[in-house]
Amino acid sequence: MTPILEVENLEVTFNPPTGEVHAVRQVSFELQAGEILGIVGESGSGKSVSMRALLGLTPTSAIVTGSVRVDGAIGSPAESADRVRKMAALVYQNPGAALNPVFTIGFQLGLAAGTTDRAALSALLEQVGLPEPERALDAYPHEYSGGMQQRAVIALALAQEPRLLVADEPTTALDVTTEAQILDLLLRLRDEHDLSIAFISHDLAVIRRISDRVIVLKDGEVVESGATEDVLSNPQEPYTQMLVAAMPGAASPRSIDEEASAPLLELSGVTVDFRRGGRERGTNRVLDGLDLSVRRGETLTLVGESGSGKSTLANAVAGLVPQTTGSITFDGIALVDPAVRKGRRKRSSTRRDVQQRLQMVFQNPLLALSPRKSISWQLHEPQRIHTARDRTERQRCIDEMIDRLELDSTLLDRRPHELSGGQAQRVVLARALLLDPEFIVFDEPTSALDVSVQAAVLDLLAELKRDLGLTYLFITHDLAVARHLADRIAVIRKGVIAELRPTEELFANPHDPYTAALLASNAALSATKVNSTALNSTPSGAQK
């Protein structure tokens, strides 16, 4: 069997004024007819660039070398680009952007297929499982959900009668159910058309499901390649092992960090007294000599009834409670120092250094955002204070972040009241994340949101933590939420920690009677909620 595409020693070098960047080095692979090749790597590993270089889509300033053999005809990447383009079609990550918004799907399909025959065009749409293909021909892209748009994009690709489909993260922008459908569609098309697919993804679960062989890229180099099952079940290279370990559902990363990690945040003997005004003068002891340590990389969830001191603890950690006494240490830096006279706060410069690394997300996003300033302004401001980024750099970070949090860039010009609750909470989250924090304190971040949005936000938080290596202190009164997210749970009662144990252990066998009572009272209430959060059913996530 001769491969339809053979690539040898592909190199792509960019030459910006800041110095050469070797985006792709010595990449070689081959692709058989009807084969699905998974191209895996983290962002920046060169997986997209290498495929784009083969299609001649890299900027003209990029230097592309190597040799490419298409159907036996061998040449440099530049010489072969036309041949590859003739044979291949591209499926994009964001289907909304890959369809021209001001023309009907039928018109675009007709141009790509070179025909105006409605029967032929609707047959194409039928093939990709778009319901009511006749009607879809006259519809505009925005009338469809992301999954349906991706089907239309695949139809557009098929219209070119390709032998090779380059799929660049085609399911990343879709929710899980739709993702599965699109993967099934691609597998079926492969069988029906003997199509080869180069499937680019950072998601190993997706790769495992769809690809026959896989190449793993790191910093532009192939570190491992082979049959998908072999590579994923028995990775040889440390990098691949790391990727596999980070895969959800595989060997749990929780158990890895659990013992080894040093505490990032340590509280000991933390006490907060609030003065009571009015007739009964005196003090309220809200936190009473509380000890707690949060390990780097974990999610510690703090549960408790209202009035138990949860929020005060969060505020004390964030430095918002000047009355705090005892000792709070963040990464070895004393925020509240027992040696310093009571009631005195730490020098503000230390605070400022730590502030950037330690961010807070509040319960009500609309109260945490200034109602009078645009979202854009509010995302610039903390960066202006805490970072050395210039305006364009800040804007770039903001664009990346809103993209990452699946916010629309049109939000930037709005004011908080023009956002939905879920959007506003994402903006607050973006504001915190823009400072590249290591530690985020969440004070009931989802209790002001409705259930479906809550699930989406929780999933997002879990994903961010995994990708950015964050540590969370998460405060909630909702045990279902706690269970969904937490590595360990601390139960707080009357200003002290009543119990602190790994999540499943605590749920299986609560030691403290107070915890047991809390669990019992929550059990009935949360039965439905556990499902909705744990099963990740986010109807709102599908539409954009």
Partner 1 sequence: MPYLLRRLITSLLVVLGVITITFAVARIVPSDPASLYAGPRARPAQVEQVRADLNLDAPITTQYTSYLGDLAQGDLGISFASKRPIFDDIVDLFPATLELALLATLVSMLLGIPLGVIAASRRNRPRDGGLRLFAMASVSVPVFWAALLLQLFLASRLGWLPLSGRTSPDVLFDETTGFFLIDSALSGSIGNVWDVVRHLILPVTVMAAYPTGLTLRLIRGSMIDVLNEPYIEAARLAGIAERTVLYRLALKNALAPALTILGLTFAYSISSAFLVEVVFNWPGIGSYLTNAIVRLDFPVITAAALVVTVVYVMVNLLLDLVHAKIDPRVVLS
Paired tokens of 225? 């390649």
Question: Measured from the CB of residue 309, what is the shortest distance to partner 1 in angstroms?
Answer: 49
Biggest CA–CA distance in the chain, Å, is 93
86 lies in the site for partner 1, by CB under 8 A: yes
Smallest separation (angstroms) from partner 1 to the CB of 321: 48
Cβ distance to partner 1 smaller for residue 18 or 60: 60
Interacting residue with partner 1 among 89, 223, 231, 432 (CB under 8 A)? 89
Contact status: 455 vs partner 1 (CB under 8 A): no
Site for partner 1 in 22-61 (CB under 8 A): 55, 57
Interface segment toward partner 1; rule CB under 8 A; list 35-43, 91-99, 285-293, 383-391: 91-99
Regarding 112 and contact with partner 1 (CB under 8 A), the answer is yes
Q: Residue type at 69? A: R
Task: Provide the minimum distance between the beta carbon of 423 and partner 1 in the complex, in angstroms, as a whole number.
Answer: 19
Helices and strands (H and E) in the chain: how many: 23, 20
Asked if 84 and 7 touch (Cβ cutoff 8 Å), the reply is no
- Least Å distance between CB 73 and partner 1? 18
* Among residues 48, 58, 94, 378, the one that binds partner 1 under rule CB under 8 A: 94
Quick one: 171 exposed, middle or buried, by C-beta within 10 A (0-12, 13-18, 19+)?
buried
Part in contact with partner 1 (CB under 8 A); list of ranges 87-95, 393-401, 428-436, 512-520: 87-95
Residue position matching structure tokens 């990032």: 264
Q: Which residue carries 């629309």 as its tokens? A: 408
88 vs 183, which CB is nearer to partner 1?
88
Q: Near partner 1 by CB under 8 A, which window of 156-164, 244-252, 381-389, 497-505?
A: 156-164
Please, what is the end-to-end C-alpha distance for the chain in angstroms? 44
DSSP-assigned letter for residue 144 = S
Ranges within 132-151 binding partner 1 (CB under 8 A): 140, 142
Rounded to a whole number of angstroms, the minimum distance from the CB of residue 114 to partner 1 is: 8
Beta pairing partners, 266: 293, 329
- For residues 428-456, b (16+ Cβ closer than 10 Å) or e, as one string? bbbbbbbbebbbbbbbbbbebbeebbbbb
Tokens of 360: 């807070």
Cα separation, 82 vs 105, in Å, equals 26
Which CB sits closer to partner 1, 186 or 489?
186
Rg of the chain in Å (alpha carbons): 27
Nearer to partner 1, 52 or 386 (CB): 52
Q: Which listed residue (13, 67, 100, 315) binds partner 1 by CB under 8 A?
A: 100
Residue 543's CB: how many other CB atoms inside 10 A? 10
| Nearest CA-CA partner of 504 in 489, 519, 524, 525 | 489
Q: Can you give the binding site for partner 1, defined by CB under 8 A?
A: 55, 57, 85-86, 88-90, 92, 94, 97-103, 108, 111-112, 140, 142, 153, 156, 159-160
